[in-house]
Amino acid sequence: MTETETSRTESPAQNRPSTPFDMIGGVEPIRRVVDAFYDLLESDPQYAELRAMHAPDMAPMREALTGFFTGWMGGSREWFTAQGGFCVMTRHSKMPITEKTAKQWSDAMRAALVVAKVEPGFAAQMDQILTRLAAGMVRG
Among 50, 108, 112, 113, binds ligand HEM (CB under 6 A): 50
Contact between 97 and ligand HEM per CB under 6 A: yes
Question: Using CB under 6 A, which of the segments 16-24, 27-35, 100-108, 110-118 binds ligand HEM?
Answer: 100-108
End-to-end CA separation in angstroms for the chain: 61
Shortest separation between residue 117's beta carbon and ligand HEM, angstroms: 20
Among 102, 112, 116, 118, binds ligand HEM (CB under 6 A): 102
Asked if residue 106 lies in contact with residue 134, where contact means CB atoms within 8 angstroms, the answer is yes
- Which residues have a Cβ under 8 Å from the Cβ of 137 and sit 6 or more positions away? 89, 92, 93, 95, 97, 102
- Which residues have a Cβ under 8 Å from the Cβ of 105 and sit 6 or more positions away? 50, 134
Contact between 55 and ligand HEM per CB under 6 A: yes
Contact between 41 and ligand HEM per CB under 6 A: no
Distance in angstroms (rounded) separating the CA atoms of residues 137 and 103: 11
Asked if residue 113 lies in contact with residue 126, where contact means CB atoms within 8 angstroms, the answer is yes
Shortest separation between residue 9's beta carbon and ligand HEM, angstroms: 36
Binding site for ligand HEM (CB under 6 A): 50, 53-55, 64-65, 68, 88, 91-92, 95, 97, 101-102, 105, 130, 133-134, 137
